[in-house]
Amino acid sequence: MLPFHIYTEQRGPRLYQLDDGRFQIIEKGDLGPFMSGYGYVLADRDLADFLEQLDAERVTFKDAVVWDRTSNAEYTTYRQILINQHFSHDQIRDLNIEGTRMLMMGNEYPFVSPMLKHRLENSQFTYLRFSEGLSGFAGQI
């Protein structure tokens, strides 16, 4: 069995983490409930709190601020998910995915273990989508 890439259909705009810790919106688009990009994973507070209660190994959470420079609006309803288990695409078949785990491929793409996928599928967060292994990355790697 392989880990599952976790994402939403509403990808949200790209963000850039500023020196002060805030995430600046750098392209147009609506903020989504779960957003990931190079060096970051952000989730709305409800999802992040749910994940934190599951006590996934090597994952920490902290409050996050998303800043829209064009309107100077700050959105404080997000938390950053810091995933401290990284892998490259060629290691995907050699990972320990037992239990409740989150992993990052290439510092950009979040993955979850089969157990965590099952828990999320049976939760209120019906907007989450999953693709097994690298099946959703055809032509990208």
Q: Each residue of 52-80: pLDDT tens digit?
A: 999 998 999 999 999 999 999 999 999 99
Averaged pLDDT, 2-13 = 93
Locus of tokens 């989150």: 102
> Using an 8 Å Cβ cutoff, are 56 and 101 in contact?
yes
Identify the DSSP state of 30.
P
For the whole prediction, is pTM greater than 0.75? yes
Domain ranges (residues) in the chain: 4-129
Whether residue 22 has pLDDT greater than 60: yes
- At residue 138, the pLDDT reads 59
Nearest to 64 by CA among 18, 101, 27: 18
